[in-house]
Amino acid sequence: MADLKRLQRMLGYQFQDEGLLVQALTHRSVGSKNNERMEFLGDAILGFEIAENLFQRHPHASEGELSRARAQLVKRETLASVARDLQLGEYLILGVGELRSGGQTRDSILSDAVEALIAAVYLDADIDSARALVRRVLKDRIASCSPREQLKDAKTRLQELLQAQGKALPVYEVVSVEGHAHEQRFMVKCVVDSLGITQSGEGSSRRKAEQQAARNVLIETGEHLS
């Protein structure tokens, strides 16, 4: 296993019970003593800390704006990005099958480990320490997140734009899927016959590729994007 002291320095927290840290890094593919229950607890702590932080930072934001901003900060992709900043993949304890399939780079496993780490700090110390960890590892993302700018996703915006103009909805079609199961790349085409526009999008999932394609359509229509 990689040097846990180094990881603790990156987290800004020294564990009293290092066993909790090890468990937080242990995937269910290893055995029964894994981080699944910790994920559940860490998710709740993360959600509350982010919600309160946004509530205090943005007193004029509406409930909907705050909800969208929170969703942006706690979503899988954001947490996986945090995990990569911490080089967490180097510390994960995975079963042989997950190791062979590249589990240490998978967004779902990385994001779950971040949540488990938050819970581990809570169990090792207290709620204030866990919340402080959330603020440390998400500091820059929290600071740059403006609820007023967390607009609806591109697919929703495109649909609403077309509906407002009484036009037919777009059609999404998967053009190609490349790569191995754990690192696939999807190419999707978005066709808007009513506007005479066809755009493509690429991403690590069909959903991401569709969002990119919709975004490219919006850009071609001249729709303002933040």
149 labeled part of a ligand binding site:
no
Query: Among this protein's residues, is 115 annotated catalytic?
Result: yes
Contacts of 222 (CB under 8 A, 6+ apart): none
Q: In what order do the strands lie in the sheet with 197-203?
A: 171-178, 185-192, 197-203
CB 205 within 8 A of CB 193: no
Q: What is the pLDDT of residue 226?
A: 44
Contacts of 181 (CB under 8 A, 6+ apart): 101
Residue among 49, 98, 115, 124 flagged as catalytic: 115
Q: How far is CA 116 from the centre of its chain?
A: 15
CB 139 within 8 A of CB 62: no
Q: For tokens 């994007």, name the residue.
A: 225
Residue among 43, 98, 124, 210 flagged as catalytic: 43
Q: What is the pLDDT of residue 28?
A: 94
* Rounded-to-integer distance, Cα 134 and Cα 152, Å: 25
Domains of the chain: 4-149 (1.10.1520.10), 154-221 (3.30.160.20)
Q: What is the pLDDT of residue 151?
A: 52
Rg (CA), the chain: 20
Handedness of CA 157, 158, 161, 163 (dihedral sign): negative
**β-sheet bridge partners, residue 178:** 185
* Rounded-to-integer distance, Cα 166 and Cα 29, Å: 50
Contacts of 213 (CB under 8 A, 6+ apart): 172, 188, 189, 190, 199, 200, 201
Query: Among this protein's residues, is 43 annotated catalytic?
Result: yes
Q: What is the pLDDT of residue 197?
A: 95
112 labeled part of a ligand binding site:
yes
Phi, psi torsion values for 204, nearest 5 degrees: -80, -5
39 labeled part of a ligand binding site:
yes
Per-residue pLDDT of the chain in tens (226 residues, 90 and over written 9): 568 999 999 999 999 999 999 999 999 999 999 999 999 999 999 999 999 999 999 998 888 888 888 988 999 989 999 999 999 999 999 999 998 989 899 999 999 999 999 999 999 999 999 999 999 999 999 988 877 665 567 888 898 889 988 999 999 999 999 987 677 899 999 999 999 999 999 988 898 899 999 989 988 887 644 4
